[in-house]
Amino acid sequence: MRAGLWGLGALASAALGALAVLILQVGSGLLPPLLVGAVISFLAFLVWPWSVLPAGILGGYLAAGALASHNLAVIVIIHAGIVLTGALAILVRRLLSPDSERRFKTVADIPMLVLAAVIVAGACYGLARGNEPYEVVVATYQLAVIPGYFFLATYSLGTVRRLRLAGTIFILGTVGLATAALPGLGGHVSLFSAMILPTLLVIVSTVGTWMRAAIVAAVVVLVIDIMLAGYRAVWLASAVALAIILLRGSARLRRGVVTALGISALVILGSAAFSTEIQRQSTFLTEKLASSPGYRGPEASVGLSVFFDSPFAGQGLGQTTPDVYLPTFQVTDVGPVYHVFWVGILANLGLVGVLALAWPLAVAVIAGLRARRDHSTAMTALTCGFVIAATFAGPTDGHWDLGLMPALILLMSQVGANRNTTPAKEVPPCSSNPRTETARPPDWVPLPSWSRTTRPTTSPRA
């Protein structure tokens, strides 16, 4: 186990070193602020390991907006650097105190490891076929973020307390960013808004009146942010998630969803009646919705042609078709990143890649639907929405949500189930306090190896 941890540490250190080399190539002027940020992040993650993902998602977005200036390489460096720094901090915590940092094991661990192996094999295959090394790195990063975010979540969010802390930070940060976007003070964060909307809809049906009013107000802000952002893939993901929640959620959850969305619709319609800015934006969104996909269709046809030529394993990560005419772009190279995510996988990894990614997603979705808990249902619905929306989108920073969402499904369903079925703590027979006989041990106490049916018949002290 120690050897495996040292291996992971060496891998994370090598990845950070590669990022440092890339930073020097992009511009040495960025090195001082990025190094200072890395040191501060590393120290913070050592103290609060649950903050890695909120910092990587929200903090990466803010840092990229401040330093990147639409430079894609810098954006990737910032996001990957924060995540890798967090992984290194968690590894250091495990090496210093192995008993205090135990990863929560899930039923999707093996499928995700298989996916990681397929990605490594696809990168080697691409290099062997003569694909450009830079394109191989770009394509590998696009897919490696999926198992990367999955395992980082299961390492850093393995208790109910950590889930709540990370969720609270992410919700507050996203609502704040979405609120700033309403008067035009900031950019829309529709992807983040869509990620927390189902969770808030679950919470709104379980809290008191005043807290419910605050959450409904936050839901209204998120819905407006999602609508005004004009990101069709997020619209589709949100619509699919809401439809599944209404079909599979409890009666209480369905009532909360209908009430919150009804209030949101009334607020949006009322605001549109008095705000010329919202009217102008609504007209723009209507035109955008009716517009053609432009270059996406021809680009997808190129990727499918590549897949039909090599259906089993594709043409390796980094596959690129040079000198293709596309509307808007004129003559350009197509690949390895496609704006249709699944087409990109077919062209780069073929059926092997699609099956390798579909396996952990299917395992997580099935587990979430079987859990029959509102939080698990909400995360499962959102995962299905993102899987379908990936047909129409291929973000430059990768579909990391396809790694994070399955992890959250399994953590919410399995951590909650284990907590609800924790055996009662053993007490001496002479105890007269009825509360101590049903006391529940803290989340960090290791569970005994016996279950309720295999509990010894005699007292451990007998």
User: What pLDDT, on a 0 to 100 scale, did the predictor assign at position 340?
Assistant: 84
Query: Does residue 120 register a pLDDT over 60?
Result: yes
359-389 tens-digit pLDDT: 999 999 999 888 878 888 888 999 999 999 8
User: What Cα–Cα distance (Å) separates residue 359 from each residue in 110, 136, 366, 413?
Assistant: 10, 24, 11, 18
Give the position of tokens 């055996």.
Answer: 423
* Residue 334 backbone dihedrals phi, psi, to 5 degrees: -110, 130
CB distance 185 to 177 below 8 Å? no
User: What pLDDT, on a 0 to 100 scale, did the predictor assign at position 327?
Assistant: 67
171-194 tens-digit pLDDT: 999 999 888 887 665 667 888 988
136-165 tens-digit pLDDT: 888 888 888 899 899 888 888 888 888 889
Residue 191, beta-bridge partner list? none
CA–CA separation, 27 and 64 (whole Å): 15
Q: For 403, what's the count of Cα atoms within 13 Å in the CB-facing half-sphere?
A: 24
Query: Mean pLDDT across the stretch 102-129?
Result: 88
CA–CA separation, 314 and 348 (whole Å): 5
Range of lowest pLDDT (15-19, 84-88, 220-224, 416-420) = 416-420
CA–CA separation, 314 and 311 (whole Å): 6
Show Cβ contacts of residue 164 under 8 Å, excluding neighbours closer than 6 positions. Answer: none
Which pLDDT band, with edges at 50, 70 and 90, does 421 fall under?
very low
Name the residue with higher pLDDT: 48 or 38.
Answer: 48
| DSSP states of 274-312 | H-HHHHHHHHHHHHHHHS--TTHHHHHHHHHHHHHHSTT
Range of lowest pLDDT (64-73, 262-271, 423-432) = 423-432
Radius of gyration of the chain (CA): 24
Q: Of 449, 403, 365, 383, nearest to 157 (Cα)?
A: 403
CA–CA separation, 198 and 205 (whole Å): 12
Name the residue with higher pLDDT: 109 or 295.
Answer: 109
CB distance 200 to 215 below 8 Å? yes
- Token pair recorded at residue 367: 């587990």
- Cβ neighbours around 421 below 10 Å, total: 10
**435 sits in which H/E element:** helix 434-437
Q: What is the DSSP letter of 414?
A: I
- Give the three-class secondary structure for 325: strand
- Token pair recorded at residue 439: 């006391």
